[in-house]
C-alpha cells in the first residue's frame, strides 16, 4: 500500500511539474504530450476547486490590534513588480489552508485518498474568531518567523484564559511551519514549554520563532509568546524538528 501511494505521489509530481518543463518540443509532439497528460488527469478523481480559502487573510472577527499588526507586517511584504524591478521586502506572509497536503505538489490526489475528511486542527472551526485566528510572516533571510494570534472563546482552559494545550498547539504550528520553510516537511520530535503568564481569552499576542541551529535533518528552534507591545512574556519554548520524506507518513 505504502509503495503504491509513493508511486502515485511521484506520478502526481510528474504531472504537476509538466507545465514547468523548459524543453522546447515540436508542436505535434507537444499536442500529443498534452493529450496524454489530459487523459492521465481524467483517470484521477476530479480535482478540488482551485479557489481555496486562505485563512490567514483578515476577516470580520479580527480586532483592532490584530488588524494593526497585520498591516504593520503586511506593508513590509513583497510588493508587486514595479516596472522591471522587484521592490525590496523584509517579510513574507505565509498563506494557510485547512488541508495543507492538497497544496503540496501532487497533493490534490493524495488528499483525496489519505483521510479525505481530515482538516488542519487549527483551521477546522467554521465560526470566524471562535478559536484560532492567526497569520504568519517569515523574515527575508528566514531566520525568524512571527505569528499574530487572536485567541477565541472556544480555547478556554482556566476560566477566562487560554488552555495550555491551545498555546502548545500554536507554538508547534509556528515553529513547525518555520522549520518546514527552513528545511523540508518536518515532524516535531521534542517540544519544551514554560508557561510564565496566562493569556486572556480574546486577546492578541505575538508568537516569535527563531532558528537556533540546523544539524543535518534536525532543526532547533526557540520561541516566545508575548503581549503585542512585547512588555509581557507569556510563554517560552524550544523545539526540535526532524525532516522527513513522504514515505515516513505512509508507514514506509
Ligand atoms: C511529506 C509531505 C507532507 C506535505 C505537507 C505539506 C505541507 C506542510 C505545510 C505546512 C504544514 C502546516 C502546518 C504545520 C503545523 C504544525 C506542525 C505540526 C507538526 C506535528 O505536530 S508532528 C506530530 C507530532 N510528532 C510526531 O508524531 C513525531 C513522532 N516521531 C517520529 O515520527 C520520529 O521519531 C521522528 C520523525 C521525529 C524521527 O524519526 P526518524 O526515524 O526519522 O529519525 P531518528 O529517530 O533517526 O532521529 C533523527 C535524529 O533526531 C534525533 N531525535 C529524534 N527524536 C528526538 C527527540 N525526541 N529528542 C532528541 N533528539 C531526537 C535522533 O537522536 C537523531 O539524531 P542524530 O542524527 O544526531 O543521531
Whole-number Å distance, alpha carbon 75 to ligand 1 midpoint, is 34
The pLDDT assigned to 252 comes to 55
Whether the CB of 140 sits within 6 Å of ligand 1: no
d(CA 172, CA 190): 10
Positive or negative: CA dihedral 54, 55, 59, 65? negative
Query: How many C-beta neighbours within 10 Å does residue 197 have?
Result: 13
| Site of grid cell 470566524 | 128
Q: Is 210 in the pocket of ligand 1 (CB under 6 A)?
A: no
Contact between 150 and 66 under an 8 Å Cβ cutoff? The reply is yes
Of all atoms in ligand 1, which is nearest to the CA of residue 184? Answer: 1
Q: What is the C-alpha separation between 96 and 111, in angstroms, rounded?
A: 16
Measure 207 CA to ligand 1 centroid, in angstroms: 21
pTM for this predicted structure = 0.82
Look at 25 and 233; give whichever has higher pLDDT: 233
Phi, psi (degrees; rounded to nearest 5) at 75: -70, -15
Beta bridge partners of 135: 148
For residues 21-44, give the mean pLDDT. 35
Residue 141 designated active-site? no
Provide the pLDDT confidence category of residue 163 given band limits of 50, 70 and 90.
Answer: very high
Say yes or no: CB of residue 190 within 6 Å of ligand 1: yes
State which of 104, 175, 242, 244 you would mutate to test the pocket of ligand 1, scoring each by most atoms of that ligand within 8 A of its C-beta. 242
Q: Which residue has the higher pLDDT, 10 or 233?
A: 233
- Picking from 212, 220, 224, the residue whose alpha carbon sits closest to that of residue 239 is 220
Domains and CATH numbers, the chain: 1-44 (no CATH), 53-249 (3.10.129.10)
Ligand 1 centroid to Cα of residue 120, in Å, is 18
State the chain's maximal CA–CA distance in angstroms: 69
Distance (angstroms) between ligand 1 centre and the Cα of 249 equals 10
Number of H helices, E strands in the chain: 6, 9
Q: Up-side HSE of residue 215: CA atoms within 13 Å toward CB?
A: 7
Handedness of CA 146, 148, 154, 157 (dihedral sign): positive
Between 41-55, 115-129, 217-231, the lowest mean confidence (pLDDT) is in 41-55
* Lowest pLDDT segment from 36-40, 101-105, 159-163, 165-169: 36-40
Give the pLDDT score at 230. 97
Q: Could you give the CA distance from residue 5 to residue 67 in angstroms, rounded to a whole number?
A: 42
Helix (H, G, I), strand (E, B) or coil at 231: coil
The dihedral sign for the CA sequence 227, 230, 233, 236: positive
Give this complex's ipTM.
Answer: 0.93
Query: Which class for 77: exposed (0-12), middle (13-18), buried (19 or more C-beta within 10 A)?
Result: middle
Kindly state if the Cβ of 242 falls inside 6 Å of ligand 1: yes
Cβ of 246 less than 6 Å from ligand 1: yes
Ligand 1 close to Cβ of residue 220 (< 6 A): no
Tell which residue, 230, 142, 226, has the closest CA to residue 182.
142
Q: What is the mean pLDDT of residues 105-125?
A: 86
Amino acid at each position: 500500500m505504502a509503495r503504491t501511494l509513493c508511486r502515485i505521489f511521484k506520478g502526481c509530481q510528474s504531472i504537476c511539474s509538466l507545465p514547468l518543463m523548459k524543453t522546447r518540443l515540436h508542436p505535434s509532439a507537444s499536442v500529443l504530450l498534452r493529450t496524454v497528460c489530459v487523459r492521465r488527469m481524467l483517470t484521477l478523481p476530479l480535482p478540488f476547486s482551485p479557489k481555496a480559502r486562505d485563512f490567514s487573510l483578515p476577516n470580520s472577527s479580527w480586532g483592532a490590534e490584530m488588524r494593526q499588526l497585520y498591516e504593520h507586517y503586511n506593508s513590509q511584504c513583497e510588493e508587486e513588480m514595479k516596472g522591471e524591478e522587484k521592490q525590496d521586502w523584509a517579510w513574507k506572509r505565509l498563506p494557510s489552508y485547512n488541508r495543507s497536503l492538497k497544496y503540496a505538489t501532487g497533493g490534490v490526489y493524495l488528499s483525496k485518498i489519505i483521510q479525505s475528511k481530515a482538516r488542519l486542527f487549527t483551521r477546522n472551526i467554521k465560526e470566524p474568531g471562535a478559536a484560532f485566528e492567526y497569520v504568519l510572516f517569515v523574515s527575508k533571510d528566514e531566520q525568524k518567523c512571527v505569528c499574530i494570534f487572536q485567541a477565541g472563546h472556544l480555547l478556554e482552559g482556566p476560566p477566562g484564559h487560554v488552555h495550555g494545550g491551545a498555546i502548545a498547539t500554536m507554538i508547534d504550528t509556528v515553529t513547525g511551519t518555520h522549520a518546514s520553510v527552513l528545511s523540508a516537511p518536518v515532524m516535531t520530535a521534542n517540544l519544551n514549554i514554560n508557561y510564565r503568564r496566562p493569556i486572556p481569552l480574546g486577546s492578541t499576542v505575538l508568537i516569535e520563532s527563531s532558528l537556533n541551529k540546523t544539524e543535518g535533518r534536525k532543526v532547533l528552534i526557540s520561541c516566545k509568546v508575548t503581549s503585542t507591545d512585547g512588555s509581557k512574556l507569556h510563554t517560552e519554548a524550544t523545539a526540535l524538528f526532524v525532516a522527513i520524506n513522504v514515505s515516513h507518513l505512509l508507514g514506509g
